[in-house]
Structure 1
């Protein structure tokens, strides 16, 4: 066996098959980039909806409970937009957060604006809440691969 010198690597070099991205990693990177964009857009709309609720909605709706519901929807959307950014590399958690924000916050927004027209969305709100909870549980008990890998654009 030849003697090792200081330039020899301590770990074996990866074979070319390991260093070439597979379709699965390319697919994961693409979905991560999509979830990243969805999260950023969701965060921006949450801030906009929150501002509208604090300023513009008061001219249209006088009920403090409805205004509080709107604020809750905006708050949950914003918090879960950040969670979606962090979970963008975990497609299951990211999908649950996306579905949960859409159903939970979206149904509250619609019900606040026009409860008669959107009455059918009442049962959607708790389903969205369950999706949000499930997203957190997937993060807690799912496969962990270290810190999130942010997509490159």
Structure 2
């Protein structure tokens, strides 16, 4: 995918995260328990942080030539958003507790995204300037 595609996906994810945050604060406050509302807010927080991370990776793609590593980092971030945040959103809305069992897989995807980005940056410093 091109850098502009990742930037667009990041912007769409920020749109969704802001909407989910507002929905949680205004639409779900009276419906969810305090515990499930906290789960929702955790999903929103991680969604926003990693949508911004995805935006950053998209911008870096315009500057750096490590397309394969940056592409991998972006895909890990997107996978983490879907699995980590998606499972928490679903858990908060449905109360189906087994959804919490897949959440850590999304967390691993987030960790892989940041580790891949760090590796990409580390490799760049060894390149001649």
What TM-score, normalized by structure 2, do the two folds share?
0.81
- Give the match for residue 131 of structure 1: 109
Identify the match of residue 55 of structure 1 among 3, 7, 26: 26
Provide structure 1 residue ranges, at least 5 long, that are not aligned to the other structure: 1-29, 147-153
The 1-side partners of 2:35 and 2:94 are apart by: 14
**Larger Rg: 1 or 2?**
1
> Is the helix fraction higher in 1 or 2?
2
Identify the match of residue 121 of structure 1 among 91, 99, 113: 99
The 2-side partners of 1:60 and 1:98 are apart by: 29
- Give the match for residue 55 of structure 2: 85
Quote how far apart the aligned CAs of 1:70 are: 0.5
- Give the match for residue 44 of structure 2: 74
What TM-score, normalized by structure 1, do the two folds share?
0.69
Identify the match of residue 6 of structure 2 among 35, 39, 54: 35
The 2-side partners of 1:101 and 1:93 are apart by: 12
Backbone CA RMSD of aligned residues:
1.7
Provide structure 2 residue ranges, at least 5 long, that are not aligned to the other structure: 62-69
After the TM superposition, which residues 99-110 of structure 1 pair with which residues of structure 2 at under 5 Å, given as runs?
99-110=79-90
- Count matched residues: 114
